[in-house]
Amino acid sequence: MGRVVLVTGGAGYVGSHTVVELLKAGHTVVVVDNCVNAAKATEGNVLPPALERVQKIAGKTLHFHELSLLNRQALVNVFSKYKVDVVIHLAALKAVGESVEKPLAYYANNITGTLNLLEVMSEVGVKRLIFSSSATVYGVPQYLPADEKHPTGVGVTNPYGQTKYVCEQIMKDLSIADKEWRIVLLRYFNPVGSHESGLIGEDPNGIPNNLVPYISQVAIGRRPHVNVFGNDYNTPDGTGVRDYIHVVDLAIGHEVAIDKIFQSDFAGTKAYNLGTGKGISVLEMITAFSEACGKEISYKIVGRREGDVATVVASCALAEKELNWKATRGLHQMCEDTWRWQSMNPNGFS
C-alpha cells in the first residue's frame, strides 16, 4: 500500500538511493533538502541533478522543496500542502572529523533542525518517523559485534555522534510522553557503493570526509593519494576496521521500516542496526577498490584522526528477525558499483 512519505535530506547520497526504493515500492515521495550535502538544481531546472536521475531510474515523479529544517515556517508550509503519512529524517551534517572542528555548526543544525521537525510534526498530527541514526552512538564499543542492547552515549568520541545520540534521546522521551508516536531508529554503519545504473552515487562537496569516495577520486585522478589515518590500531593490519554496507541495502532498510512502523503492534521507539556484521579494514578496502577499477591506488600512512575508534562492527540479527531485512551486497559489488558511478561521472553531478 503506497504511503505519502516526506524525506528530509532526500537529495543527498543515502537520501537519493532511498527515494529510488520508495518510488519503486509505490510510495508518493516529498523531498525537502537545503542541498548543503547535495548538488543544487542547475539553472532552468526545478530538481537537483540527483533527483532528476532518481526519477529517470524509477520512471516516476517526486515532489521537491528546497528548504532548511532551521526554517520552521517553510516546514509548516510543506506539511500543509501534503497529507504526509510518515517522515524519513535523513537531513544532517554528517562528517565525523569536521564535527570535531565545528561542533557548534553540528549541534545547531542537527539538533535544532530535528526539534523543529518534531514540533511541526506534533502540531500537524504526523507521528510516525524513521530516523537516520548512526553506529557512532555506541561510542568506543564495549563489545563486538555491537547489538541494539549495547550502551549508547557512553564514550561517544565526536560531536556528530553526540548529535545523533541526543536526537535519539529526544525521540525516546517524546514517544514516552505521547503514546501516539511511532519511531524507528536506524543505526547505520558505513554506507558505500552506488546504484547499479551508475546514475546516482556519492558526490561530496569539497574534499571527501569518508574513505570510499576519497579512494574513488584518487582512482579517477582528482586526488593524488589516499591518507590512511593511523596504522597502529589493534586490528589485523593496524588500520581502522569498519562495517561497510552497500547504500542500496541501506535504502531498502528504510523502505521495509515503513512496513514495520504501520504494523498494529508497533509502539514507542525501536532501534535497529543496519550493517553487514563483517569488518573491513582501510587497507582491505583500498585493495578491493584497486581490483575493481584495475588501477593501483596510491596511499600514505598519516597520524590518527581525532574522533576515530579502532573497530566497529554490527550485529544485525534484530533487523533480520523483525524487519525481515538483510544486507546482500558484498565488498566486490560495493567497489564495482562505486567505480561505475565515478567513471561515468568523473566530476560527480557537476
**Among all residues, which ones are annotated catalytic?**
160
> Using CB atoms within 10 A of its CB, is residue 81 exposed (0-12), middle (13-18) or buried (19+)?
exposed
Query: CA torsion angle for 236, 240, 241, 246 (degrees, to 10)?
Result: -140
CA 54, CA 281: separation in Å to the nearest integer? 31
**Cα-Cα-Cα-Cα dihedral sign, residues 213, 150, 8, 163:** negative
Q: In the sheet where 182-188 sits, what is the strand order?
A: 63-66, 28-33, 4-8, 86-89, 128-134, 182-188, 268-274
Instruction: Work out the angle at residue 100's Cα, subtended by the Cα atoms of residues 97 and 105, and round it to the nearest 5 degrees.
Output: 105
Which among 63, 59, 55 is positioned nearest to 28, based on CA atoms? 63
